[in-house]
Chain A
């Protein structure tokens, strides 16, 4: 590895009180990659995502982003380094309109690129354009997910963190959202770190992937390798494939 990765997580341990949720995790994401993290419920996937964002903070280990140590930084300063997150459960602002939600995402640059970027989001997700003056809380689950991703993209992130974008959505909508992510990656070179339970879809999309069990990374490889790996197939794909 000659080029320094964009995000480098080294030996990270995270605790909830006395309970260890992450037990020495090593993960890295290179520029321009889509990397996914798969695993069962409670494996610590979302915890890793939240730890990268600084809430909760890692007790041991380090997180290096773009050459700088962000392990002990507060969440809002990490976000200002252009790590955008579409959090688990989407967390859009329900009483604000779609348009206002997107504005909230552009707050970091004081709305400098807003008009240009909002057009881009509307081409990527035409549904959002139709619903721009509707309240966020009245959108369907899929539209809310699009809004959550769109809001994250409004800050022109260097790294996009997606936490379970397929959660509770119909397969057709999941497909649409994953295609949009792929398009962003191919056309704009957006770096994406993806947490998914829907292992099949995630592995097909990703350049590389990690498998997490009980707070530890147990396996890593390219998306294709893991798709054909018998252990992964047995644990996450067969029977889990809908």
Chain B
């Protein structure tokens, strides 16, 4: 009896809150969803109403609120209570096969991904999966892993990371066109040039931390972009640089259609750009693996340890004899170098670069991926990149939504809205990112189960 009256009052509560949510969303959306302005044939600004779309928004808000208050929250509370009652924390031994071998499975999955998509979607059909999803996501994985060295490990908040991406891309684009150098010569060179700019940025900001550092790096990113726009003699300004040479298969086979040693001709395959994309997929995968390897290795070396110590406490670092100047500069340089590699890859993949690709939003997206993934965690960041970049790519595929919201509905436009929503959801439920705990890199004799899973930072 008591149970059912409890339930009734809960449902009443949920219904009440749903009505409030509906009212709030009605008020919020009435002006910019309910009313649309456009130009008519005489160039006059007129408006029309979109009550249907507004109704959809309001209903979504009301129903979600009802579900959250009526079902999800009681369920979570109950689980929390049960856990507290049981009193025993989940022991990490209970991992299943999938969890233990997650990384190996993921790597194998990535390796067979291109042939699999060729098999399932055909040579031409695989382009979408390999290029739009695979390569696009992996570029962001690499960029986020590079930024992770600066932000996640060394704790230096860098809002202008895209500048190094731009330096790498333009280095490859300009040097390959001016001097005809091949991709394999210019890839390391782009990285070195980006690292050089990383050090240039590093010097003036050595004494800055936190907010101040963020503002200066933000400005640096914009400066690079503005130089690219305005130095038209070299960069062709907003027109960008087109016709950037493709990468070759280590100089053995070319992917240029006219070349004598064309890859498809040499192997007797039908003409398709899919093979080049598949080659690029493996190339960026290898670059990502290199980044991961370098990060993991560096974390175990004194310099990586010094980065992490620097993030935790700069004064303690100095009192232990760590030179904070070189430590910061190496973090900037190595982070920038990885950004430069990714930039060179981006340039050869697109065949076209323009300052449009290196706006602040890109820096923000990369930083968001690092934060969502959990600063310092490679796995978490990779997952975040898949969700954020893959998710926005997926929106382009959501044609069926047009049947729900009407033919004017373009899902891509809601990208940023969903991006923000995803960030809020992750920050509410996992404030430290998908993988929030730092994995120690040294143990006395064996790993103890108590290490991190029972404890949280900031307590005790």
Contacts and interface: CB of A to CB of B under 8 A. Distances in A.
Interface string A54-91: 01000000000000000000111101100011010001
B442 A97 contact: yes
B321, B440, B443 — which one has the most chain A CB atoms within 10 A of its CB? B321
A135 B457 contact: yes
Contacts of A133: 440, 443-444, 447-448, 450-451
Interface residues of A, number: 37
Contacts of B309: 93, 96, 104
A113 to B, nearest CB: 15
Nearest to B452: A135
A93 B313 contact: yes
A132 interface: yes
Contacts of A75: 318-319
A87 B311 CA distance: 17
A103 B305 contact: yes
Interface stretch (A25-33, A136-144, A176-184): A136-144
B316 interface: yes
Given A55-B318, A107-B302, A133-B443, A95 B457 contact: yes
Contacts of A134: 450-451, 455
B158 interface: no
A137 B458 CA distance: 6
Contact of B440 (A94, A96, A118): A96
A75 B314 CA distance: 11
Which interface class (under 10, 10 to 19, 20 to 34, 35 or more) fits B?
Answer: 20 to 34
A87 B315 contact: yes
Contacts of B324: 76
Interface in A91-150: 91-97, 99-100, 103-105, 107-108, 110, 118, 132-135, 137-140
B302 A110 contact: yes
Contacts of B313: 91-93
B315 to A, nearest CB: 6
Contacts of B447: 133
Nearest to A88: B315
B251 interface: no
Nearest to A81: B321
Nearest to B316: A91
A10 to B, nearest CB: 23
B270 interface: no
Contacts of B438: 95-96
Interface in B181-200: none
Contacts of A137: 457-460
Nearest to B306: A107
Nearest to B305: A104
A91 B316 CA distance: 6
A18 B368 CA distance: 43
Contact of A99 (B312, B444, B457): B444
A239 B447 CA distance: 49
A134 B459 CA distance: 12
Given A95-B312, A137-B458, A104 B320 contact: yes
Contact of B320 (A77, A107, A118, A139): A107
B444 A93 contact: no
Contacts of A194: none
21 contacts: A53-B319, A55-B315, A75-B319, A77-B321, A87-B315, A87-B319, A93-B312, A95-B311, A96-B440, A97-B451, A99-B443, A100-B305, A100-B442, A107-B305, A110-B302, A118-B444, A133-B447, A133-B451, A138-B455, A138-B459, A138-B460
Per CB-CB distance, the 5 closest pairs between chain A and chain B, nearest first, are A79-B321, A91-B316, A93-B312, A75-B318, A133-B448
Interface of B: 302, 305-306, 308-309, 311-313, 315-316, 318-324, 438, 440-444, 447-448, 450-452, 455-460
